[in-house]
Amino acid sequence: MGRTLAEKVWEHHVVRHAEGEPDLLYIDLHLLHEVTSPQAFDGLRLAGRTVRRPDLTLGTEDHNVPTTPGPIVDPVSLTQVETMRKNCAEFGVRLFPMGDAEQGIVHIIGPQLGLTQPGMTIVCGDSHTSTHGAFGALAFGIGTSEVEHVLATQTLPLKPFKTMAINVDGELPDGVTAKDIILAVIAEIGTGGGQGYVLEYRGEAIRALSMEARMTVCNMSIEAGARAGMIAPDDTTFDYLKGRDYAPKGADWDAAVAAWRELETDDDATYDAEIDIDASQLSPYVTWGTNPGQGLPLSANVPDPEMLSDDGERTAAERAIAYMGLTPGAPLRDISVDTVFLGSCTNGRIEDLRAAAEIVKGRKVAGSVRMLVVPGSAKVRLQAESEGLDKVFTDAGAEWRLAGCSMCLGMNPDQLAPGERSASTSNRNFEGRQGKGGRTHLVSPLVAAATAIRGTLSSPADLSK
Amino acid sequence: MEQFTKHTGVGVPLRRSNVDTDQIIPAVYLKRVTRSGFEDGLFSAWRSDDTFVLNNPDFAQGSVLVAGPDFGTGSSREHAVWALMDYGFRVVLSSRFADIFRGNSGKSGLLTAQLRQEDIELIWKLLENEPGMELTVDLEQRTVTAGEHVFAFEVDDYTRWRLLEGLDDVSLTLRHADEITNFESTRPDWKPAVEPA
């Protein structure tokens, strides 16, 4: 019987298989950041162990870094970053620190360097590692104990995943993006719907996406409960990779591409589950609640919990609406925001900044709104500046910042104040995620830009009216 | 890792679904570089609410958390497990756990026992009718006992074995170091590598 993309990559990495035990899987690339690694290095030190493959390990500083020029002010953040530098130096791990030309959000820099390649296994102590699946890599987030395990052994014991195909056919309407696809998928299957599965995004609407847009889709697989999301590599993938720093060169390139072409799911393979989405029926999505599954088309109204038949869902919706300070039945388009955040590993790449700049150009951010534009990496920032995008944003009244995770999770000073409301291109609208008491609506870069101009949740189409 | 065979302690009814790891411990508490002392961050936003279950003295000493479905979603932070354990929890009962959280729990010795949602609802009622009631969680038998009620729970065989034995994953894997070395010799040359520091 045929095999799926996920099954092929898995099989290529099995070091050891024994009945009744998890498979031992080899890890091709281990990415580190300062938040989830200190206790792992400590574990190695206590046990007198070393990093088995420093050449397959790479660190960056992203979660704590300030996005305004200058040193880290918070002493606790500073300790964490200094600990990262000390650990990487002691164990021989390459690190891209603040200020380095290659520094950036861990899931932006891997693909940017060409380190993320099809058919690889990639892990990081960060749930958005699923991003790298856009290249046909099996990539997933791990906890700190597992970080220690990979540092020490370059392997992980894992139980096989189930597979789920997400077929997205049809053509996306204008103004509808990868972010809207994934928000619609999560609204459809729920935050637990992907649990235990690797999602494989398929269909013509996925094939038509750029690599950066595919990364946005795979990035949020975890918000549907799936540890990994994948897209089979194709010419779009190879074109993106070719010539990047760590991509294979010369004859190696040809050998690699030949191997990568074999990864596609076989025609006679079967999935454990399948869902179908019609891209032509999608419209810009926004979340109204406090988990990423609580999303609706922008044209909809805040749901009325009374209309929900399931007790659990009703209670969750009531809680979410109360936390978000919304009125059931009110149009989502009437919700005014205080802050617009454009950035994160979900939507902090150059195409995201270009798309938003296109909308903002020649317009002004509403007086009541602060807009933060945070490139995903130092390279993205430089690229944007070379295209004059920074000017477009600052002329409109937005703030142009340095690279990092920033307001996606507010570990640095970029936070919402209690009760403050944001339209955010990030990935999580959990209670307090962007600052204690903060209220988050997840949106695409296009909706973020239009919302910044109008001051209420809007799509670019609302601007031309 | 400490062995886990059987545990008896006060059950805490947490009537919420989708308790994500940002709720279990907000990011602001993740800046520490140590592995202990995370109990102050546990459910930090909710603990300022007087009606929150852990602010009820009958439940404050709880060690068995009984939660709604989709517990532990979101961020991979293992600090969520450490915060629960540092507070004193040894077991979480739920009808569905997020994958990364469940994996992290098994590594640190926190038992995530999966029960049917209707059993969770019944345990919630028992605990609310008799606050401070103790639950006994028996990993060998895979049962939770609440008064005269006995519920079966699911946990995968491998995690159960590791918890019962108190085994650490890294030393188990290093028994197969030769196989890892053999595998490495078969990796294609064109796979990327970085220049170590």
The mean pLDDT of A171-176, rounded to a whole number, is: 97
Among A42, A126, A153, beta carbon nearest to B173: A153
Going from the C-alpha of B125 to that of each of A415, B95, B111, B129, B138, the distances in angstroms are: 39, 16, 22, 6, 21
Is B55:B45 a contact under the CB 8 Å cutoff?
Answer: no
- Cβ neighbours around A306 below 10 Å, total: 10
Best mutation target, B31, B101, B163, B169, to test chain A (most A CBs within 10 A): B31
Is B13:B121 a contact under the CB 8 Å cutoff?
Answer: no
User: Is A227 in Cβ contact with B179 (below 8 Å)?
Assistant: no
Nearest CA in chain B to A37: B33
How close A362 gets to chain B, by Cα (Å)? 37
- What local confidence, expressed as pLDDT, does residue A312 receive? 84
Going from the C-alpha of A430 to that of each of A345, A433, B73, the distances in angstroms are: 17, 5, 10
User: Is A55 in Cβ contact with B196 (below 8 Å)?
Assistant: yes
The mean pLDDT of B109-123, rounded to a whole number, is: 97
CA atoms within 13 A on the CB side of A68: 6
CATH of B6-184 among 3.40.50.300, 1.10.3720.10, 3.20.19.10, 3.30.70.20 = 3.20.19.10
- What local confidence, expressed as pLDDT, does residue B35 receive? 87
How close B126 gets to chain A, by Cα (Å)? 19
Helix orientation angle between A389-396 and A378-386, rounded to the nearest 10 degrees: 80
- What local confidence, expressed as pLDDT, does residue B167 receive? 87
- What local confidence, expressed as pLDDT, does residue B1 receive? 79
How close B181 gets to chain A, by Cα (Å)? 9
Residue ranges of A 294-333 with Cβ closer than 8 A to chain B: 312, 315-316, 319
Residue ranges of A 198-217 with Cβ closer than 8 A to chain B: none
Per-chain mean pLDDT for chain A: 97
Number of residues that this document lists for chain A: 465
Residue with tokens 């494989």, as numbered in its chain: A200
CA B164 to chain CA centroid, Å, is 15
Q: How, if at all, do strands A285-287 and A295-297 pair?
A: antiparallel
**Helix/strand/coil (H, E, C) string of A165-217?**
EEEEECCCCCCCCHHHHHHHHHHHHCCCCCCCEEEEEECHHHHCCCHHHHHHH
- The 8-class DSSP code of residue A430 comes to -
| Residue A1 banded pLDDT, cuts 50, 70, 90 | confident
Residue-wise pLDDT tens digits, A225-278: 999 999 999 999 999 999 999 999 999 999 999 999 999 999 999 999 999 999
- What local confidence, expressed as pLDDT, does residue B15 receive? 95
Measured over the CA atoms of residue A283, residue A285, residue A288 and residue A293, the dihedral's sign is positive
| Residue B168 banded pLDDT, cuts 50, 70, 90 | confident
User: Is B156 in Cβ contact with A411 (below 8 Å)?
Assistant: no
Is B51:B71 a contact under the CB 8 Å cutoff?
Answer: no
For A459, the token pair is 């799509």
Phi-psi sector, A144: left (phi>0), alpha (psi -120 to 50), beta: alpha
The mean pLDDT of A148-155, rounded to a whole number, is: 98
Alpha helices in A270-349 (DSSP H): 311-324, 344-347
Among B34, B96, B100, beta carbon nearest to A143: B100
Among A95, A144, A411, beta carbon nearest to B197: A95
Number of residues that this document lists for chain B: 197
Contacts of B77 in chain A (CB under 8 A): 35-36, 143
Confidence check: pLDDT of B179 > 70: yes
Is B125:B136 a contact under the CB 8 Å cutoff?
Answer: no
Out of A29-33, A365-369, B169-173, least confident range: B169-173
For A218, the token pair is 């795979």
In this structure, the dihedral spanned by the alpha carbons of residues B123, A225, B20 and A432, taken in order and rounded to 10 degrees, is -150
Collect all residues with Cβ–Cβ distance below 8 Å to A386 and sequence separation of at least 6: none
For A13, the token pair is 């990495």
Order of strands, edge to edge, in the sheet holding A273-278?
A228-230, A197-202, A162-169, A273-278
Nearest CA in chain B to A221: B74
Write b or e for each residue in B29-60: b if 16 or more Cβ atoms lie within 10 A of its Cβ, otherwise e. Answer: bbbbbebeebeebbbbebeeeeeebbeeeebe
Confidence check: pLDDT of A42 > 90: yes
- What local confidence, expressed as pLDDT, does residue A150 receive? 98
Of all residues in chain B, the percent with pLDDT exceeding 70 is 100
Nearest CA in chain B to A412: B28
How close A76 gets to chain B, by Cα (Å)? 6
Could you give the domains of chain A?
Answer: 5-273 (3.30.499.10), 287-464 (3.30.499.10)
Among B158, B173, B191, beta carbon nearest to A149: B173
How close B131 gets to chain A, by Cα (Å)? 23
Q: Which of A37, A216, A30, A31 is nearest to A105 (CA)?
A: A31
How close B35 gets to chain A, by Cα (Å)? 6
Is B163:B109 a contact under the CB 8 Å cutoff?
Answer: yes
Residue-wise pLDDT tens digits, A56-78: 999 999 999 999 999 999 999 99
The mean pLDDT of B57-86, rounded to a whole number, is: 97
A77 touches chain B (CB under 8 A): yes
Confidence check: pLDDT of B133 > 70: yes
- Cβ neighbours around A410 below 10 Å, total: 21
Which residues are paired to A139 by β-bridges? Answer: A122
Confidence check: pLDDT of B2 > 90: no
The mean pLDDT of A382-398, rounded to a whole number, is: 98
Of all residues in chain A, the percent with pLDDT exceeding 90 is 97
User: Is B76 in Cβ contact with A291 (below 8 Å)?
Assistant: no
Residue-wise pLDDT tens digits, A408-452: 999 999 999 999 999 999 999 999 999 999 999 999 999 999 999
Q: Which of A191, A187, A215 is nearest to A201 (CA)?
A: A215
- What local confidence, expressed as pLDDT, does residue A465 receive? 56
Confidence check: pLDDT of A464 > 90: no
Residue-wise pLDDT tens digits, A284-340: 999 999 999 999 999 999 999 999 988 888 999 999 999 999 999 999 999 999 999
Among B27, B30, B190, beta carbon nearest to A248: B190
| Position A162, amino acid | K
How close A149 gets to chain B, by Cα (Å)? 5
Confidence check: pLDDT of B91 > 80: yes
CA separation for the pair A258, B182 (Å, rounded): 24
Contacts of A247 in chain B (CB under 8 A): 192
A218 touches chain B (CB under 8 A): no
For A450, the token pair is 């239009």
Residue-wise pLDDT tens digits, B24-62: 999 999 999 988 899 999 999 999 999 999 999 999 999
